[in-house]
Structure 1
Amino acid sequence: MLTRQRKELLLQILKQDGQIVAKTLSERLNLSEDTIRRDLRELAKEGLLERVHGGALPASPAMGNFAQRQQISADAKPAIGRAAAAMVRPGQVVFIDGGTTAVQLARHLPRDLRAMVVTHSPSIAVELAEHPSIDVLMIGGRLFKHSIVAVGAATMEAISQIRADIFFMGVCSLHPEAGITTGDYEEGCVKRAISAASLRTVVLASQEKLDTAAPFQIAPLSQVSDIVVNAGVEERLIAPYRAMGIKLTLA
């Protein structure tokens, strides 16, 4: 079998099974484990999958820039934002992450809601600038341009001084085994710190982010209380999270 044919077969199997276990697949295809691992490394360099210990998982499609990500699941994100906004109660301290879905959340907060929103995202702060009764606490730091959020030591220091009632986390990847992952190490550290400083962590995840993985772990799923996902998502994609006791809201 030619290298190109092998790689196409691996991608086909990954799409069909949702994961690749190198040892199992080597026996199934009568190929050496080293050959499969080499092919997986090369496919990972091309951004076509995410290497994990012992095999591979699908790569997240949500790794493009902010403008590109606005076009992904454009119909689903307003509904997810609306459902998440309905979870906020008057008087709460709410941390809103960056990202295109989080912007929709901010946009759907009721005009009469009195609360404090903490954010390290200029996009969220600008979205709430005209809200009549929400106080906005903007956390600064070095701008991570991919997600348009602040990261770094100054950001982490500010987060350590805050205790939020609820954290709405935007993600690029969510997987029952890999947990919550992202493509940038520093961004992962910031998200993890915010989650640890919040009583409740709610993950906002459109369907294309489920059952995918990125290089850096944010947190295990044991830290997640809720997932808001678009209605119509395949039950097989969300059943593992239900089994973990995570509350699912279908928007």
Structure 2
Amino acid sequence: MFVEERHQLIISTLEKEGKIKVKDLSDRFNLTEDAIKKDLAILEKKGLLKRVYGGAVKTRNEFLFLNLEDRKKILTKEKQKIAEKAFSMIKENSTIFLDISTINIEICKMIIEAKLKVIIITNMIEILLKFLEADTDVEVIFIGGKLDNKNKEGFVGSYSIEQIKNFKYDIAFLGATGINMEEESISTYFLDDAICKKEIIRNSKKKYILIESQKLNIDGRVNFTTIKEIDSIITEKTKN
């Protein structure tokens, strides 16, 4: 087997399993562990993996921030599938928090189209506007506070948190920048957004992270919860 072919198989295995062990690769390719370590060192220099004790893990990408309009244009099919799965979990007369997330915009549209009678609480401006434009019986409570000056998508900060604390939510759907499955951490891009999400989770009976599967290899700047603290992660690949 050529070296390049072996390297491709190593990367392919890593993509499927998320991590690899030197010993397992040594047995698989009938090579010494030192030879495998040299392979991993070469692949690490190319930025294709990160070496750890006894093996290697996938490299993680840092999130590239995009504004709302740009985010709405990417992974639209995936977002639609995720929104459909989340929508199927909503019961009439329940109180739902939709935080700042392009997927939650899709859920909002589905609620309006289905004429579902629910209470929606949100801090996202576009979600509020969707309900203002629609003929709907949905009761909408809007969380105000400090306008997020970076992207102007919604309200965050201490005043928003005080309002979030005033309610109990049957279910919360939250967006995320990324999930680190190894560390079991879930992150977002801005600190104020992270603090709001923490409070939403604290006051919700059921809490779900809505995220495209490709973000399972992305890290945001600020961790706001762990996998153990939520009920489930919903991706376009999640079985309903």
How far 1:175 sits from its partner (Å)? 2.3
Amino acid at match of 1:28: K
What stretches of structure 2 of length at least 5 have no aligned partner?
A: 1-6, 21-35, 50-56
Equivalent pair of 2:79/2:103 in contact (CA under 8 Å): yes
Bigger CA radius of gyration: 2
Q: Which residue of 1 aligns with 2:26?
A: none
CA deviation map 1:89-134 (0-9, x unaligned): 1111100011211100111115331111000001111112214110
Q: Secondary structure at the match of 1:200?
A: strand
Extract unaligned runs of 5+ from structure 1. 1-8, 21-26, 44-48, 50-54, 234-247
Task: Select 1:200's aligned residue among 192, 195, 206.
Answer: 206
1:181 paired with 2:187, answer yes
Q: How many residues are treated as equivalent by the alignment?
A: 207
Distance, in Å, in 1 between the alignment partners of 2:226 and 2:79 is 24
In structure 2, relative to structure 1, the CA distance for the partners of 1:16 and 1:199 (3 Å cut) is same
Q: Secondary structure at the match of 2:187?
A: strand
Cα 1:16–1:104 change in 2 (3 A) is same
| Matched residue SS, 2:116 | coil
Shift of 1:56: 8.1
Partners of 1:115 and 1:135 within 8 A in 2: yes
Shift of 1:180: 0.8
RMSD between superposed Cα atoms in Å: 3.5
Aligned to 1:73: 75
Which of 215, 221, 224 aligns to 1:218? It is 224
Contact 1:227 1:249 in 2 (8 A): no
The 1:93–1:16 alpha-carbon spacing in structure 2 relative to 1, beyond 3 Å, is: same
Aligned residue for 1:97?
99
Alignment correspondent of 2:158: 153
Aligned to 1:28: 37
Deviation at 1:152, TM superposition (A): 0.7
Once the two structures are superposed, residues 15-72 of structure 1 have per-residue CA deviations (whole angstroms, 9 ceiling, x without a partner) of 955579xxxxxx935999xxx8xx9xxx9xxxxx9xxxxx985225563111221122
**Contact in 2 for aligned 1:98/1:147 (Cα 8 Å):** no
User: Percent identity of the aligned residues?
Assistant: 21
Please tell me whether the aligned partners of residues 65 and 147 of structure 1 are also in contact (alpha carbons under 8 angstroms): no
Question: 4+ runs of 1 displaced by more than 6 Å?
Answer: none
Equivalent residue number for residue 33 of structure 2: none
Kept in 2, the 8 Å contact 1:59–1:214? The answer is no
Q: Give the TM-score normalised by the residue count of structure 1.
A: 0.70
Amino acid corresponding to residue 204 of structure 1 in structure 2: L
1:202 alignment partner AA: Y
Structure 2 match to 1:172 = 177
SS in 1 for 2:61: coil
Q: For the structure 1 residues 214 and 61, does the alpha-carbon distance in structure 2 shift closer, same or farther, using more than 3 Å as the test?
A: closer
- Report the TM-score when normalising by structure 2: 0.73
Report the alpha carbon displacement of residue 220 of structure 1 after superposing the two structures with TM: 0.6
Partner of residue 138 from structure 1, selected from 133, 136, 142: 142
In 2, the alpha carbon distance for the partners of 1:151 and 1:171 equals: 15
Deviation string for 1:61-88 (max 9, x for gaps)? 5631112211221122122212211211
- Report whether the alignment pairs 1:162 with 2:167: yes
